[in-house]
Amino acid sequence: MLVEWPAQLRMAGEFNGKHVLDVGCGTGNKARYFAENGAASVLGIDASAGFAEQWAGHATCSNLELAQGSFETLHTLLQLQHKRFDLIVCYQALMYARDLDGTVNALAQLLLPRGTLTISVPHPFRFAILKGEIEGWQHGFAYQQTQPYRYPSPWKPDLLLEHAMPRISDYLNAITSAGLHLTACEEPIVTDELRTASPEKAAWMDRYVGIIVFQTDLLSDRKDRIKDGT
């Protein structure tokens, strides 16, 4: 959090008075941060029933709504019908989408004109290193293997995670094909504060890189297409 959240927040940009959608909101804590720090309204969506069980504590936040739903069901969620957002954030979740291009396109369709979509994902190079350690693969070969891969959680080794392994180019191509413009990209580095507060996490980031964050907005022709309903 000492490295990831500040970078995610910077790349979200100004959200005061804006309508925010958090897709893959997890516990809802970051969605609540936006709600309590100036956003006009915040809708958080996550597919996990386990996370949904933790949402009761957010009931007192009047401008925050949380709902269960997946990337694949965005177009059917009642909470999203006839709604558009100034800011959409998707933190550490997009790699779970079954259809990366289709999902980014669906998110782009939920943006208002001049809206921003901010995406953070585990850095793809992290998995090239990890698969090299587990499988004995060379890093270049491992990086090119984009199919779903199962691996132990770095913080809960008994928990196995599985998702697709997009490359940086896969994310960028999904962004541009959705009519979005990449405005900034950040790869957070280990800070002195992190080395002091959490040397274990700092050592892990030195080994596996961490995350990458993309900030995008709508191209003018995409705004026209959305306005025209095409």
pLDDT tens, position by position, 118-137: 999 999 999 999 999 999 99
Kindly state the tokens that stand for 77: 């969620």
Nearest to 97 by CA among 47, 137, 133: 47
At 165-187, the pLDDT tens digits run: 999 999 999 999 999 999 999 99
Per-residue model confidence as pLDDT tens digits over 49-59: 999 999 999 99
Rounded CA separation 227/149 (Å): 39
With b for 16 or more beta-carbon neighbours within 10 A and e for fewer, the 66-81 pattern comes to beebbbeebeeeeebe
Q: Is the pTM of this model over 0.75?
A: yes
Three-state DSSP class for 73? helix
pLDDT: is 230 or 174 the higher one?
174
Was domain 4-123+167-220 assigned CATH 1.10.3720.10? no
Cα 151 from Cα 146, distance rounded (Å): 14
